[in-house]
Structure 1
Amino acid sequence: MRSIRHQLLVALLSAISLTTLLGALATYRTAREEANAMFDYHLRQLALSLRNQVFQNGPRRDFRIEEDAQDFSVQIWSPDGTRIYLSHPRQELPPQTPIGFATIDSGHGRWRVFGMQQGGQTIQVAQPMLLRDQLALAAALRTVAPFLIMLPILGVLIWVVVGRGLRPLDAVARAVSTRTPVALEPLPQVHVPSEVLPLLLALNDLLARLKRALDAQREFIADAAHELRTPLAALTLQVQLAERAGDAAARTEAFAEVKGGLQRATHSVQQLLTLARQEPGGGDRPLAPVALSELVAGVIAAHLPLAEARRIDLGAMPTTGETVVEGEEEALRILISNLVSNAVRYTPHGGKVDVTVGAGADGPFIDVCDTGPGIPVEERERVFDRFYRRAQNDEAGSGLGLAIVRRIAERHRASVVLDEAPLGGLRARVQFQRSAGLPGVALTPL
């Protein structure tokens, strides 16, 4: 695992070193330019200092001076072109050059030369460019040396500062490590830097969703255990009664009760499994555009035998508008099937159930209307609770149908509303939202 502290330290030191080197280069260039200007001035002044000296025609005079101590080389020519003075006899100096400043390559190095005439004599003062570059480099190094010496101290300071800056991350890590499945409180947001706050908010959102998922799981397990205890106990009793039956007729009746109990238990287990798949953490499922009208037609066709057995007029009203939503087709099929099944089972014989698919200003919707007894206003919210069954209800069931409907609707960001139907019974409306891409909505992530 790579350390953020180490990465920051290396990056900062590298940036500072690069900046220092660039500064040294700029200092070197500036120092060289300044040195050139200064040495040019010295050349001119040295030449001017010799202009009042009188040099007669005659043999060349070489003044014995310590050449290592001299930075300038001086040559003087008479009017006839004879060199009458040379300060460095053993050096390969540049030849006589035009008057003024010039940079000459003598074949043994580059020279900066200043020439002038005085009394018919030509005075030339020269200096090696290598010497100038060395002096400029020495000046630049003297300037950069303090920064290079300070780099280790700067590294220690950066290490300390970065460590203090990363303390909030350490605090967040310690806070996350203390969370358990039974203690998923949000992480504290006091004195949190702005850079860490988005991470903290994302973690708190994750903890909140995880808490809801675990709470729903615990609640589901408790409800399922409670709900299955009664039918399993009834099955055990019915099996015992079948074993004690005295004749074939009693045994047949007892086994019929066992068969009915098994069917009810199987239906309860299937509903529980369906509800479990719709809970948070039930698994990721692919999304796709779903045509609600086609889905409704398939569900109605599957429920026609039940409706005919109860002499109920089950049909679909004409579709209005664009009714395509984005979601999970199988989940939406279960939603429509539970609504239609409830309407058919709770509508008296000879009644009517109409299913309408349309699109309004708020988006696509599905209406399931029946001629049944309806649900009182005070109970319309409670019927969405798990295992809730009305006291006046004689139909067999697990009380999970509408709970499954609401959960699927919530996952598709839809709402379920129960109210009075134009037919006189109950109307269950599933209202979808309208999105930018499709008339439907994206599935809520689990």
Structure 2
Amino acid sequence: MISLRRQLLVTVIAVSAIATTLSGTLAFIRARDEANALFDYQLQQLALALSDRPLGGNLPRLGGVAGFDFVIQVWDRFGIRRYYSHPHRVLPDRAQLGFATVPTSEGNWRVFSLARPDQVIQVAQPVRVRQRLALAAALRTVAPLLWVLPLLLLASWWVIGRGLKPLARLATEVGERNPEALTPIPLSHTPEEARPLVGALNSLLDRLATALDRQRAFTADAAHELRTPLTALKLQLQWLERADSDAERRAALAELAAGHARVMHVLEQLLTLARSEGAPIAHHPVDLVRLAGDVLATHAPLAESRGIDLGLDAPASMTTVVGDPAALRSLVGNLVANALRHAPDGGQVDVRLAENGGQVTLEVADTGPGIAEAERERVFDRFYRAADAGEGGSGLGLAIVQAVATRHGAVIDLGQADLGGLSVRVRFPPYPTPALVQGD
């Protein structure tokens, strides 16, 4: 489980530890170097102080002085050693002017030698003493950092916890909402970093509210639409029960079968609309010429029984779009069924396919009464029927067509057909379409 608090704390601890280590190391090295430079300066100053004295014969013996770590030697101009503060030391019996580090059996010594006209003065100090003093000075410099590190980590823990409190409040606010509360989360007290998340969440809530409203409206409309045919079925059953003769019974059974067919048609259309609006579509190449031919073959018996000229005008080559074959079959089928329903007996219904620059256009035209321009926007509403629509329709056909077209990125245009009735044009996006693939 990912924890922002844990990640931030681990990151801050790691960065603080690395920064403190680097700072401490640099401070330690610098303090040690400065201490060594200071000790070299002391050697030089001690040698300069002794240069004003007469030849070392009258200098005191310092070998027994507690805490005096320096060794002093003085030679005259002939190279004869005239003074040695610690005779038991094992320093070399000659001087190298300036600073030098001299190895001896007692360890390394740091030596400074100064030449004067009548003498040479050498002051030496054990390196181990210098290192001990330099280490102590460096540790005193680094010690505050070691004390500050725990305080810094404690302050980081407190600051991170305080900084994440708005997220905790946001989580509490979302968690305490009831399922019906789909109002947007206010952004007034939301941290800047969390606003993209809250904005996306508000967008999701808005889409959920729209979907729920559409579902409620769909349920209410479906219940209202089914009430009439179900009531009719009940009346037809009562008519069948009261029938006194075989002729009346046959007539009642015919009406009952027709009512049952209407109810089944409405239910099938409702299921088709639900699938068209809810389920994700598949993305396959679909040959609309072949698909339209199959749909027309299915509706041919009905057209023939009414003397309607049902034809297909399409290119000889494949006309390909990307989409769900079943959904596209439903789109074409509903357009053809709608045209056949409104075309008069002996009329004409044409299905036309055209391709221009990769864009496919499907047109279904009929010789029916058409749709008034004022009603063309409303015919896509569920259960809406035009005033002259007649009986037999569910009011869902064009709603299904629009739902399928929308999910395929297609655009629908309604107009006056050259046959005199309604013309429905569906313009599909070019094949292939990256936008459609991203919407999967």
Whether TM-score is above 0.5 comes out as yes
Q: Which residue number in structure 2 is paired with residue 302 of structure 1?
A: 298
Q: Normalised by the size of structure 1, how large is the TM-score? A: 0.85
Q: Which residue number in structure 2 is paired with residue 352 of structure 1?
A: 348
Whole-angstrom CA distance in 1 between matches of 2:268 and 2:421 = 28
Whole-angstrom CA distance in 2 between matches of 1:124 and 1:321 = 108
- Change in Cα spacing, 1:343 to 1:82, as seen in structure 2 (3 Å) is farther
The two structures, once aligned, show a CA RMSD in angstroms of 3.3
Alignment of 1:267 with 2:243, yes or no, is: no
Whole-angstrom CA distance in 2 between matches of 1:440 and 1:420 = 33
- Change in Cα spacing, 1:95 to 1:56, as seen in structure 2 (3 Å) is closer
Q: Secondary structure at the match of 2:267?
A: helix
Query: Of 375, 384, 388, which residue of structure 2 is paired with 1:379?
Result: 375
Within 5 Å, give how 1:357-376 maps onto structure 2. 357-360=353-356, 363-376=359-372
**Aligned residues between the structures:** 439
For structure 2, list consecutive stretches of 5 or more residues without a partner in the other structure.
Answer: none
Quote how far apart the aligned CAs of 1:178 are: 4.0
Q: Normalised by the size of structure 2, how large is the TM-score? A: 0.86
Contact 1:321 1:359 in 2 (8 A): no
Query: Of 394, 399, 403, which residue of structure 2 is paired with 1:398?
Result: 394
The one-letter amino acid of 2:43's match is: L
The one-letter amino acid of 2:263's match is: A
Report the more deviating stretch, 178-187 or 163-172: 163-172
Q: Secondary structure at the match of 1:114?
A: strand
Query: Of 153, 161, 181, which residue of structure 1 is paired with 2:159?
Result: 161
- Change in Cα spacing, 1:351 to 1:50, as seen in structure 2 (3 Å) is same
Q: Which residue number in structure 2 is paired with residue 176 of structure 1?
A: 174
Q: Which residue number in structure 1 is paired with residue 4 of structure 2?
A: 4
Contact 1:344 1:353 in 2 (8 A): yes
The one-letter amino acid of 1:24's match is: G
- Change in Cα spacing, 1:92 to 1:288, as seen in structure 2 (3 Å) is farther
Query: Of 98, 109, 126, which residue of structure 2 is paired with 1:100?
Result: 98
CA deviation string 1:58-97 (max 9, x = no partner): xxx9633345x23433344567877665545666657756
CA deviation string 1:147-183 (max 9, x = no partner): 4333444344434433342233233223323433322
CA deviation string 1:181-202 (max 9, x = no partner): 3220111112433211110111
- Change in Cα spacing, 1:152 to 1:304, as seen in structure 2 (3 Å) is same
Q: Which residue number in structure 1 is paired with residue 225 of structure 2?
A: 227
Whole-angstrom CA distance in 2 between matches of 1:225 and 1:308 = 35
Q: Which residue number in structure 2 is paired with residue 35 of structure 1?
A: 35
- Change in Cα spacing, 1:119 to 1:172, as seen in structure 2 (3 Å) is same
Quote how far apart the aligned CAs of 1:285 are: 4.0
Q: Secondary structure at the match of 1:442?
A: helix
Contact 2:56 2:74 in 1 (8 A): no
The one-letter amino acid of 2:265's match is: H
Within 5 Å, give how 1:232-251 maps onto structure 2. 232-251=230-249
For structure 1, list consecutive stretches of 5 or more residues without a partner in the other structure.
Answer: none
Whole-angstrom CA distance in 2 between matches of 1:107 and 1:412 = 94
The one-letter amino acid of 1:358's match is: A
Quote how far apart the aligned CAs of 1:203 are: 0.3
Report the more deviating stretch, 391-400 or 197-206: 391-400
Query: Of 131, 146, 149, which residue of structure 2 is paired with 1:148?
Result: 146
Report the more deviating stretch, 27-36 or 80-89: 80-89
Contact 1:364 1:439 in 2 (8 A): no
Aligned residues: percent identity? 49
Quote how far apart the aligned CAs of 1:296 are: 2.9
